[in-house]
Structure 1
Amino acid sequence: MPATSESSSSSRSCSISGIHSRRSRAPPGSRRRRPPGRTRSPRSRPSTASPNSVEESMRRLSAGLLCLVWAACARKADLVISGGMVWTGLSTGAPRPGNVAVAGGKILAIEDDAGIARYVGPHTERIRANGGLVMPGFTDGHTHFVDGGFQLASVDLRNAATPAEFVRRIKQYAATLRPGEWILGGDWDHTLWPGQPLPRHEWIDSVTPDNPVFVNRLDGHEALANAAALRAAGVTKDTPTPPGGEILRDSRTGEPLGIFKDRALDVIGRAMPEPSPERRDSALARALAYAASLGVTATAHMSASWADLASYRRLDRAGRLTLRAALYLPLDDWRTVADSVRRAGASDPWLKIGGLKGFMDGSAGSRTAYFFEPYSDSAGYRGLLQHPEADMRRWIGNADSAGLQIAVHAIGDRANAILLSIYDSVTQVHGPRDRRFRIEHAQHLRPEDIPSFGRLGVIASMQPYHAIDDGRWVERRIGPVRIKTTYAFRTLFDTGARLAFGSDWTVAPLDPILGVYAAVTRRTLDGKNPGGWIPEQKISVGEALRAYTSGNAYATFDEATRGTLAPGYDADVVVLDRNLFAMAPDSLDQARVRYTIAGGKVVYRR
């Protein structure tokens, strides 16, 4: 193999199989390794005309021979995945048979059976994919990751199908606690119950006399407090309702019923004890293990707290992170975030401050998403903004001036339209730069607003599972016209928007395979839409996978290091037990993860 000349340094190097690795910061505790496919050579004099042409020729010949010898001893892989259908993520097309070699935490090569042999050494670990899909690790573009870890150890109310079952599960869980311990999480869904009544604190007071309870609806935008929690927070009928929130009250007495929505959640939240660092670290560790079992190798952790960031940093220093995390901290704390990024830098290979997360409105399930027209089942009511529009414009403008990425929750069509307008005006005032504004959820859009995503370069950070869940009931909320551009995956793609898919865990299951199934089939959870709910908004398997891989890498400014399988990229890989591209769409949810590899290490195997 001939030597190549680098004119900038007049040095010579050689490459193997055309693999050129990017330099990247090594994970904590590891040594920087020489990039695959490159070898250093001594500096030589510039190649200028010389009477001693024989000496120059010999020098060239020696360099060439050195490269040939080095090539014959090509770097051996730490890990080789063979016998799979490899989908690199570079396009939405189908995968091809192939093998993946990994070394030093990076992709070393992607080769056919003959080509991969040179990378296999005596210490190379072998994984046989047996025809399953080999693809970039899934990135979940929107989680509440540490909260998910806490929920894994808390009461599970998600599929409690009746009020009686709801009460029974809380009673059973309370029996395992000491007096005074809070019961949190839950993720209940009253739309499963006959008549869909919201719970009241009287339902659970008698079974939780000694334990404050504050269990949230699965969308996280309303929660039920029991009498003990109301006492702990000092809530009475005279407690004012905060702007951007709602406290449900008895229509006769004015006494709180126990339901708190959006900004009113803080009324109870202020009374809740902060978990110890040890408990938070344990929750994060649980979440990491669970994510690895589902093939998730990176996440954007939304609405993270400073305590969450400290927990990630502790596990990062201990070498215990098994996924890459970008944390988005509160928008109204933009100044502190900007100072922190300036002082400490934004990232290392496993952890970074991604930017800021804000809220425009609430959710359709809690009737707090903000619409232009009233809810179809609530005359005259349009939802609510969590913050005045003027505050949002000021915070977003200031954060953008500080160079921070901004991600804002918007669900109702009016909330999305206002946010797009804010992003547009900030861009015009501050001038062009690579901002990558994000709208989290972007669920209900007016047709005329959809092209603005592509025009403004706004990322639509969406959660496909919400579509097949909400599709059971949302038409009753907003009517048959507005649902036509609800979860408008196809139209957003076709108008040039970039999509980044996630789960919103714990609001929805973390499993990205369920998200792919939802985006491709749009079959609602009640089984009433076998052909797909709003079927014209379906997308292909390849499009859904790109939104879960390279789309998310782009959304966090990481497209140069992860999101695809290519030499020099981070070796974050998932091996499935079957090829999603060859499956019937309605069976996609049956696929399972066999191996998860993060940074070149196997972190899960089944």
Structure 2
Amino acid sequence: MRKNKKAFINGNIFTVNERMKWAESIITSCGKIIFVGTNSQAQNFIDDDTEIIDLNGKLVLPGFIDSHAHLILGGFYLQGIDLSTAKSKTKFQNIFSDFIKNHKSGWIKGGNWNHQLFDKVELPTKEWIDEITKGIPVFVHRMDYHMALANSVALKQANITAETSNPVGGTIEKDESGEPTGILKDKAMDLIYKILPTPTTDEYQNAIQLAMNEAEKFGITSVHDISYKNHFAELQKFEREKKLTCRIYSILPIELHKNIIKSEIICPFGNDKLKIGAMKAFADGSLGSSTAYFSEPYEDDKSNYGLAMEILSSGKLSDWAFECDKHSLQLVIHAIGDRAISEVIDIYESINKVHGNRDRRMRIEHAQHMNKNDFQRLYNNNIIISAQPYHLYDDGPWAINKIGNERLRTTYAFNSFLKNNIRLCFGSDWPVSTFNPIEGIYAAVIRQTSDGLNKNGLISEEKISVEDAVKCYTINAAFASFSEELVGSIETGKFADFIVLDENIFTISSEAIRDVKVEMTIFNGEIIYSLKK
């Protein structure tokens, strides 16, 4: 017979609760935590209806909360071509040759390539893969999803030719003769998106299940999901079948805000496992695609300041943001370059002045390259920063070539955010980067880069402690989704979402953190993942 209570005893429990940081036991019932404290105190709650789980002194943390991920995209990514290991043109082509052996028809998607890691730093072109992929359309993204490569078949189907003009907010790369190279940046990718076949419900549901499996393995019990067309509908179907094993705070495209307002939905709206949370917009592109929007030009291209999205440059983003705020819709805006960040702060500052103070929890996603004068403005306007620490590991080796030493000093400025009392939460941006929060904690604490050359850490003064990094993945992320009373710490009355690690990240060396594994994931009081199994 299934028992109604569980007692997790003999643990080394970091609660993230300032009133009681450490505990030994947790008692759960009906999906909630009903006791946190010492082993001896726990005995008062243990009876014949209690299942006892001995933690054997292992470290317990609140379930990780990923404040920025693309769940369904990630599920599809796991099924596509993986070009992340390509370090040369030859390796790039070989991966395609191997993949195509088992893929004879339909679009080839996926990608995750990074030309900055090629032995010769250059963008791939359609000619690299046309001969290999005859008759099969290809559209594979760079790791940041702000640039993608299409082969000639895909370009033809999308009617992209030498005569096709750049869309506003996007670039069609062309060679010296004026022919498209196959590289499409930002809004130019929409030309392909609109002809891609819509996945079936079965394909969507399979992608969600694959994403859930990954979340369980990495101890992620809540996700702020950047949801695109059809995603929220498919997540609802999955939730109604009671298959969700993490709580999802769905962030919808800001272009849909009028629909939300017209529907009289007051966000957050939903249940404890799936909610509509906020509206997402883009102010600029990415550093790796040279489309992050800066005040000064790129070091490797003095004619390029990056790419402001059309809604930012036209003033539409400001108008939409005001309208969202008027109807209490949380704002979540992507901004990577310093000028994009400054202009988003301008918008948020204006909203606070015009609409008056209230608990808005406006967010800037990424905020990778700060103007040093903007830290105080972030604090003054109660703006939350949602950052992805593992991007530092990926981008570190080549960022200096794009922005130079001076701008590098305020890149991934995690410690500066915290010192300026700015609320900082962490996420992955999966599948752009690893979904594993342990690797994110490692990156934030040690600030090592993928080339291994920054032994003391890239901008070492921006390192943060393990405790602060854990808070960024738990209680701070909960706050960013108005969920701090429900999740984010191990406290009586909160949902029983917590994890057990195989090593203590507070006591091992910083270098060893990245090898730590989640031994057990508990969601809603149930053990949904066990490393031993």
Match of 1:299 in 2: 223
Pairwise CA distance, 1:285? 0.6
Pairwise CA distance, 1:314? 0.7
Q: Assess if the C-alpha contact under 8 Å between 1:188 and 1:218 holds in 2.
A: yes
**Aligned with residue 234 of structure 1, among 149, 156, 159:** 159
Could you tell me how far apart the structure 2 residues matched to 1:171 and 1:394 are?
48
Q: Assess if the C-alpha contact under 8 Å between 1:522 and 1:533 holds in 2.
A: yes
Q: Structure 1: which 5+ runs fail to align? A: 1-75
Whether 1:152 aligns to 2:78 is yes
Q: Secondary structure at the match of 2:265?
A: helix
Match of 2:285 in 1: 362
Match of 1:312 in 2: 235
Whether 1:352 aligns to 2:278 is no
2:190 is aligned with what amino acid?
A: D
Whether 1:485 aligns to 2:413 is no
Match of 2:425 in 1: 500
Q: Please give the residue correspondences for 1:445-484 in structure 2 after superposition, counting only pairs within 5 Å.
A: 445-484=370-409
Deviations 1:545-587 (A, max 9, x none): 0010000100000011111100000101111112111111111
Q: Please give the residue correspondences for 1:63-142 in structure 2 after superposition, counting only pairs within 5 Å.
A: 78-91=5-18, 96-142=22-68
Match of 1:65 in 2: none
Q: Assess if the C-alpha contact under 8 Å between 2:267 and 2:329 holds in 1.
A: no
1:272 is aligned with what amino acid?
A: L
1:584 is aligned with what amino acid?
A: S
Q: Assess if the C-alpha contact under 8 Å between 1:129 and 1:577 holds in 2.
A: no
Q: Secondary structure at the match of 2:333?
A: strand
Could you tell me how far apart the structure 1 residues matched to 2:274 and 2:300 are?
44
1:184 is aligned with what amino acid?
A: K
Choose 394-403 or 544-553, whichever is displaced more.
394-403
Could you tell me how far apart the structure 2 residues matched to 1:376 and 1:160 are?
25
Match of 1:282 in 2: 206
**Higher radius of gyration, 1 or 2:** 1
Q: Structure 2: which 5+ runs fail to align? A: none
**Aligned with residue 305 of structure 2, among 361, 365, 382:** 382
Match of 1:259 in 2: 183
Q: Assess if the C-alpha contact under 8 Å between 1:77 and 1:119 holds in 2.
A: no
1:335 is aligned with what amino acid?
A: K
Q: Assess if the C-alpha contact under 8 Å between 1:131 and 1:579 holds in 2.
A: no
Whether 1:565 aligns to 2:490 is yes
Match of 1:517 in 2: 442
**Aligned with residue 575 of structure 1, among 482, 500, 518:** 500
Whether 1:415 aligns to 2:340 is yes
Deviations 1:407-453 (A, max 9, x none): 00000000000000110001111112211100000000011001222
Runs of 4+ aligned structure 1 residues displaced above 4 Å come to none
Q: Secondary structure at the match of 1:472?
A: helix
Whether 1:170 aligns to 2:96 is yes
Match of 1:552 in 2: 477
Pairwise CA distance, 1:225? 0.1
Q: Secondary structure at the match of 1:361?
A: coil
**Number of equivalences:** 527
Pairwise CA distance, 1:210? 2.3
Deviations 1:336-363 (A, max 9, x none): 1233462897120100011100000000
Could you tell me how far apart the structure 2 residues matched to 1:557 and 1:411 are?
24
In the superposition, the TM-score normalised over structure 2's length comes to 0.96
Match of 1:326 in 2: 249
**Aligned with residue 454 of structure 2, among 503, 511, 529:** 529
Pairwise CA distance, 1:175? 2.4
Pairwise CA distance, 1:454? 1.5
Q: Assess if the C-alpha contact under 8 Å between 2:114 and 2:143 holds in 1.
A: yes
Choose 396-405 or 367-376, whichever is displaced more.
396-405
Match of 1:404 in 2: 329
Pairwise CA distance, 1:406? 0.6
Could you tell me how far apart the structure 2 residues matched to 1:345 and 1:467 are?
31
Q: Secondary structure at the match of 1:574?
A: strand
Could you tell me how far apart the structure 2 residues matched to 1:96 and 1:373 are?
47
Could you tell me how far apart the structure 2 residues matched to 1:344 and 1:262 are?
29
Identity fraction in percent: 39
Match of 2:319 in 1: 394
Pairwise CA distance, 1:591? 1.0
Alpha carbons of structure 1 residues 401 and 249: separation in structure 2 relative to 1, 3 Å: same
Deviations 1:205-227 (A, max 9, x none): 11111211000000000000001
Pairwise CA distance, 1:292? 0.4
